[in-house]
């Protein structure tokens, strides 16, 4: 029995022990690692990501109670939330006054009611997770995708495509106040073990290619959690969209994509672009080029007949991405910079960069695997070095930092009982 099936069995047992009910299905919904393409998805530009080994596990037991009750030991004092299904049908439906966990369930159920005219009769949900929350590894998208796929399975017999599931989750995030793109959902849904994903939001195209077997990944949670709505994410999105709008007007091309601009120097001469707009534009354009170079590097590495592609080039692209998102996009945080600096001290490191919205959260670090040192040892060294340096900064971090070793894994999986 593989690890996913073993974990599903444990969730079934925990659910039964908690509620006395027998679940009918289990969803495994992983987080995602942002490899390259930081803050490009909502600009409809290509991104590179992969699904993590770490995941949210959600089991469901149907009943006719007219309520959805969700349990999780990890929610602390609010380990149980209850959703009244009659409210989903109400003409005065709104999300005011609910917790973020409640909002997501209500929003998804409302979307299914409005768009597909379906609503469950009731049921119990049990949730377990080894994805840290508010850390930049898409715990919110993993939670939302697990819930959307649950509704897809129990009310529509699984007929919705993965892209439709992703867009429903995105719509729910928007209803809950987070104006996200589609990177996180695709990273949670479309993964394949040992592969990375390139997603093009403009065309919807998804491509996968094997990840180099000699490169390991670790995610370091800085101990500085952030909620998307409390960061400058929304401001940066508006600034970027304004920069593109000004550029389109200047060049006389209303539908121009950033990827199709051929003369950056000409764009920089636009007097309507402020220094701030130029910085945002510079990050977006340079990151687009890095995605293209990075994907070519991955293909060259996979199809090589002997030797290996230059690992220093890999590391340089990762570090350049971090510098760009920090200096030109200005979503960095001192904890993210210290984490990158700490990774650079580790032998065989291949670069590190902040993930997600920035402003704390997590960094991803890449390391060359070898027989002498395990990836777990390198990750532990990274955490130790980070804690040593961050300890000198007053009031940071506010939570215990941690590090997770991960690798490209399968996207969302459903197990029927």
Least confident window among 92-101, 104-113, 158-167: 92-101
- Most distant pair of Cα atoms in the chain: their distance: 68
Least confident window among 195-204, 229-238, 331-340, 388-397: 388-397
For position 217, what pLDDT does the model report?
96
pLDDT band at 1 (very low <50, low <70, confident <90, very high): very low
Tokens of 197: 């994903």
Q: Write down the pTM of the prediction.
A: 0.92
Residues paired with 68 in a beta bridge: 83, 123
Tell which residue, 70, 55, 84, has the closest CA to residue 142: 55
C-beta of residue 174 within 8 angstroms of C-beta of residue 106: no
Cα–Cα dist 58/411, whole Å: 14
The SS3 of residue 201 is coil
Q: For residue 397, say if its preceding peptide bond is cis, omega within 30 degrees of 0.
A: yes
Cα–Cα dist 86/67, whole Å: 8
Cα–Cα dist 303/52, whole Å: 24
Least confident window among 7-16, 115-124, 268-277: 7-16
How is residue 24 annotated by DSSP? S
Residue ranges of domains in the chain, CATH in brackets: 3-210+410-416 (3.30.230.10), 215-406 (3.30.70.890)
How does strand 25-36 pair with strand 215-221?
unpaired
Average pLDDT, the chain: 91
Give the Cα-Cα-Cα angle 82, 85, 87 (nearest 5 degrees): 100
For position 307, what pLDDT does the model report?
65
Residue with tokens 């990750």: 379
Least confident window among 95-99, 282-286, 316-320, 380-384: 95-99
For position 263, what pLDDT does the model report?
93
Tokens of 61: 């037991």
Cα–Cα dist 155/35, whole Å: 35
User: Which strands, in side-by-side order, build the sheet including 215-221?
Assistant: 349-354, 362-368, 215-221, 402-406
pLDDT band at 302 (very low <50, low <70, confident <90, very high): confident
Q: State how far Cα 250 lies from the chain centre.
A: 34
pLDDT digit string, tens, across residues 386-412: 999 887 776 666 788 999 999 999 999
pLDDT digit string, tens, across residues 187-206: 999 999 999 999 999 999 99
């Amino acid at each position: 029995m593989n690890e996913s099936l073993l974990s599903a069995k444990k969730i079934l047992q925990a659910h039964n022990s908690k509620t006395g009910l027998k679940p009918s299905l289990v969803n495994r919904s992983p987080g995602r690692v942002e490899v390259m393409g930081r803050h490009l998805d909502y600009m409809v530009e290509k991104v590179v990501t992969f699904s993590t080994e770490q995941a949210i596990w959600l089991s469901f037991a149907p009943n006719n109670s007219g309520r959805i009750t969700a349990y999780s030991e990890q929610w602390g004092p609010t380990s149980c939330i209850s959703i009244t299904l009659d409210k989903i049908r109400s003409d005065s439906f709104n999300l005011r006054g609910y917790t973020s966990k409640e909002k997501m369930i209500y929003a998804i159920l409302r979307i299914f009611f409005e768009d597909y005219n379906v609503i469950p009769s009731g049921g119990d949900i049990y949730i377990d997770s080894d994805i840290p929350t508010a850390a930049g590894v898409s715990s919110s998208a993993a939670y939302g995708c697990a819930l959307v796929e649950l509704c897809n399975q129990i009310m529509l017999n699984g007929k919705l495509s993965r892209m439709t599931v992703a867009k429903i989750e995105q719509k729910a995030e928007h209803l809950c106040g987070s104006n996200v793109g589609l990177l996180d959902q695709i990273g949670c849904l479309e993964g394949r073990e040992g592969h990375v994903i390139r997603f093009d939001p403009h065309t919807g195209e998804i491509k996968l290619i094997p990840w180099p077997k000699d490169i390991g990944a670790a995610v370091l949670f800085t101990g500085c959690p952030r909620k998307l709505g409390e960061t400058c994410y929304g401001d940066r999105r508006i600034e970027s969209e304004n920069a593109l709008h000004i550029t389109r007007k200047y060049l006389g091309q209303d539908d121009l994509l950033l990827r199709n601009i051929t003369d950056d120097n000409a764009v920089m001469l636009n007097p309507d672009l402020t220094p701030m707009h130029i910085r945002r534009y510079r990050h977006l354009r340079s990151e687009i080029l890095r995605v293209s170079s990075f994907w070519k590097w991955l293909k060259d590495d996979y199809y090589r007949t002997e030797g290996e592609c230059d690992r220093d080039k890999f590391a340089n692209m990762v570090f350049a991405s971090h510098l760009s998102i920090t200096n030109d996009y200005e979503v960095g945080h001192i904890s993210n910079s210290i984490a990158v600096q700490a990774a650079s001290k580790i032998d065989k490191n291949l670069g590190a960069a902040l993930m997600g919205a920035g402003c704390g959260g997590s960094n991803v670090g890449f390391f060359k695997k070898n027989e002498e040192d395990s990836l777990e040892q390198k990750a532990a060294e990274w955490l130790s070095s980070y804690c040593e340096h961050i300890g000198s900064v007053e009031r940071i971090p506010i939570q215990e930092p941690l590090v997770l070793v991960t690798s490209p894994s399968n996207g969302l999986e459903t197990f029927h009982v």
